[in-house]
Amino acid sequence: MGTATDGTGTTVAVVGGGIAGLSAAWELSHMVPHARIVVLESAGRLGGKLHTGQIGGRAVDLGPDAFLARRPEAVALCGELGLDDDLVSPGSRAAYVWARGRLRRLPAGLALGVPTRLGPLARSGILSPLGVGRAGLDVLGWRSPRGATTLDPSDRPVADITRRRLGREVTARLVDPLIGGIHAGDTTQMSAAAVFPALLDAAGRGGSLMRALRPASPPATAGGAGAEAPVFFTVRGGLSRLVDSLAAALGTRGVELLVQSPVDRLELRTPDDRHSMQGDRDATPWVLHHARGTVEADAVVLATPAGPTAALVASVDPVVAEMLRAIDYADVTLVTLQMPERAVSRPLDGTGFLVPASTGCLITACTWLTSKWPDLRRPDDILVRASMGRFGDDPAKDMSDDEIVRHVLADLALMMGLRSEPTEVVVTRWPEAFPQYAPGHLERLSSLEHAVALFPALALAGAAYGGVGIPACIASGRQAAHTVLERPVGAGLTYR
């Protein structure tokens, strides 16, 4: 498989039918159009966490509801599937954070929660006067000496950088809710090199961190003078349309999509085994045992979360399995509510708000869906979605759905003046929703990639490795397709 071929006689198995696995299959179907490509998904549907449901008579995403516009992978895939005209951006850019007893608008000039301008930060009211003063010391080039010589310069926890340079209030009320919210994690345990390399680079320079993170020039715009380029996109009608369109396109290319087909065991035949089975012509190196039978494959892409992937490779290489088990995950619960517009005492003039962990509230964020996505609006009716769960703190784990809803309603009553019961509620639990990139993640990832490269035509894909967003997962899947096709299976290959 290390040479150019149309794939005739070749079988490639993709384990996992989320967006990473489907993207791997899509790339493979173009690179080796006559190969047999089999996608094995344990659940009863494709798409993983991309899942659209019905609430209040409209399609609402019950997992991710948008993807970054500035990364090209998701936009490009939508274009390949003919969904260009169905890409929509949020109806508002404003967002809030719960700070000092009220919702306060996020200031202009934030770089993933890190302020780059002192004036907007001071006017926002998010920090106390003392907190503003502490952040202002950064502009003068001052930094706390704490941790100056003990931290690894090649990677540091995000919070260690921002606390030292900007103070505890900036970290707790802005950085942790934004960066921590993206990853459902704790920035005191989060790799700056993996999640915000520009922060690590800026911290290594002399002078002000805020100034170092300012964009060199105004961002590019679309739509003429004065227009702002979209930050996020979604697909009109929900992200399940992306999954369905991709699955349909894969079907027309002959890709086999098998749901309810969990892979129980991954078997690797040694070169001697393969040679003895078919004489001079080697048999396939991989055998996948799944709920409906077996698949013999020349190449395998494992696009499942790190835990299930570890379970599959454990019998092949316990060391690789242990590397995978070291990747922790955060569980997340989403509560989507439909309610009358009169149920809230304030205008929903933005996309929603973030909630710092230091507040003691159970929810971590709230999205005002009908303000964020104008297509969801109906007269006298609103949709909101609350999130719960951070790494190491999953309050919903031991609660019933009714208890979860009760706590969410109490938090929303405090923060946005909710004053009546919802007319419809959907609780969606996402175990192992967000992999955690602890300090040293990139080094561990490099070691993992080198270990996996010792096996014939095997590649890993998904959020556990190079990014948690939809574009990053698409990129991961497509790269895995190239990796397995470039990795030879010849008898001269040395592997464990």
Shared domain for 339 and 407, answered yes or no, is yes
Q: Are 345 and 419 in contact (CB under 8 A)?
A: yes
Tell whether 65 is covered by a domain: no
Of 220 and 485, the one with more pLDDT: 485
With a cut of 50, say whether residue 221 has pLDDT above it. no
Phi, psi of 142 (to 5 degrees): -85, 145
Q: Measured between alpha carbons, how far is 263 from 267 in angstroms, rounded to an integer?
A: 11
Domain's final residue, options 390, 413, 434? 434
Shared domain for 308 and 359, answered yes or no, is no
Please choose, from the candidates 72, 53, 71, the residue with its C-alpha nearest in 3D space to the C-alpha of residue 62. Answer: 53
Q: Is 145 exposed, middle or buried (0-12, 13-18, 19+ CB in 10 A)?
A: exposed
Predicted local confidence at residue 149, as pLDDT: 45
Domain's final residue, options 172, 196, 212? 212
Task: Please give the order of strands across the beta sheet that includes 11-15.
Answer: 256-258, 36-40, 11-15, 299-302, 458-460
Q: Measured between alpha carbons, how far is 446 from 463 in angstroms, rounded to an integer?
A: 15
Q: Measured between alpha carbons, how far is 139 from 136 in angstroms, rounded to an integer?
A: 5
Predicted local confidence at residue 151, as pLDDT: 54
Predicted local confidence at residue 226, as pLDDT: 46
Mean pLDDT (the chain) is 91
Shared domain for 284 and 362, answered yes or no, is no
Token pair, residue 84, equals 């260009």
Token pair, residue 26, equals 């899509």
**Which CATH number covers residue 430?**
3.90.660.20
Domain region containing 358: 329-434
Tell whether 222 is covered by a domain: no
* Tens-place pLDDT, residues 52-92: 999 999 999 999 999 999 999 999 999 999 999 999 999 99
Tell whether 230 is covered by a domain: no
Tell whether 88 is covered by a domain: no
Predicted local confidence at residue 227, as pLDDT: 58
Tell whether 77 is covered by a domain: no
Q: How confident is the model at residue 282 (pLDDT cuts 50, 70, 90)?
A: low
- Whole-angstrom CA distances from 114 to 1, 172, 206, 211 are 46, 11, 17, 11
**Which CATH number covers residue 114?**
1.10.3110.10
* 322: Cβ contacts below 8 Å, ≥ 6 apart: 310
Shared domain for 305 and 399, answered yes or no, is no
Domain's final residue, options 195, 212, 229? 212
With a cut of 90, say whether residue 136 has pLDDT above it. yes
What's the total number of domains in the chain? Answer: 3
* Tens-place pLDDT, residues 434-484: 999 999 999 999 999 999 999 999 999 999 999 999 999 999 999 999 999
* 452: Cβ contacts below 8 Å, ≥ 6 apart: 320, 458, 459, 460
Shared domain for 322 and 335, answered yes or no, is no
Q: How would you classify residue 357: left for phi > 0, otherwise alpha for psi between -120 and 50, otherwise beta? A: alpha
Predicted local confidence at residue 216, as pLDDT: 72
Q: What is the pTM of this model?
A: 0.92
**Which CATH number covers residue 320?**
3.50.50.60
What is the residue-wise DSSP string for 74-111? HHHHHHHTT-GGGEE--S----EEEETTEEEEPPSSEE
With a cut of 50, say whether residue 223 has pLDDT above it. no
* Tens-place pLDDT, residues 283-298: 789 999 998 899 999 9
Q: How confident is the model at residue 4 (pLDDT cuts 50, 70, 90)?
A: very low
Q: Measured between alpha carbons, how far is 37 from 373 in angstroms, rounded to an integer?
A: 37
Shared domain for 304 and 445, answered yes or no, is yes
Shared domain for 206 and 349, answered yes or no, is no
Mean pLDDT value across residues 229-252: 97
Q: Are 426 and 336 in contact (CB under 8 A)?
A: yes
Mean pLDDT value across residues 187-196: 96
H helices within 373-440, ranges in order?
A: 401-416
With a cut of 50, say whether residue 224 has pLDDT above it. no
Predicted local confidence at residue 487, as pLDDT: 73
With a cut of 90, say whether residue 115 has pLDDT above it. yes
Shared domain for 126 and 140, answered yes or no, is yes
Tell whether 54 is covered by a domain: no
Predicted local confidence at residue 2, as pLDDT: 42
Element (H, E) at 61: strand 58-61
With a cut of 60, say whether residue 490 has pLDDT above it. no
Predicted local confidence at residue 489, as pLDDT: 56
Of 323 and 222, the one with more pLDDT: 323
Mean pLDDT value across residues 236-243: 98
Tell whether 40 is covered by a domain: yes
Give the percent of the chain with pLDDT over 90.
82
Shared domain for 172 and 129, answered yes or no, is yes
Shared domain for 289 and 317, answered yes or no, is yes
Q: Which range, of 26-30, 68-72, 110-114, 273-277, averages the lowest pLDDT?
A: 273-277
Q: Are 112 and 196 in contact (CB under 8 A)?
A: yes
Mean pLDDT value across residues 264-273: 80
Shared domain for 313 and 456, answered yes or no, is yes
Q: Are 11 and 298 in contact (CB under 8 A)?
A: yes
Q: What angle do CA 401, 407, 409 make, to 5 degrees?
A: 100
With a cut of 90, say whether residue 215 has pLDDT above it. no
β strands within 272-328, DSSP E:
286-290, 293-297, 299-302
Predicted local confidence at residue 141, as pLDDT: 76
* 218: Cβ contacts below 8 Å, ≥ 6 apart: none
Burial per residue of 449-484, b for 16 or more beta-carbon CB atoms within 10 angstroms, e otherwise: eeebeebbbbbbbbbbbbbbbbbbbbbbbbbbbebb
Shared domain for 459 and 323, answered yes or no, is yes
Tell whether 80 is covered by a domain: no
Mean pLDDT value across residues 141-146: 69
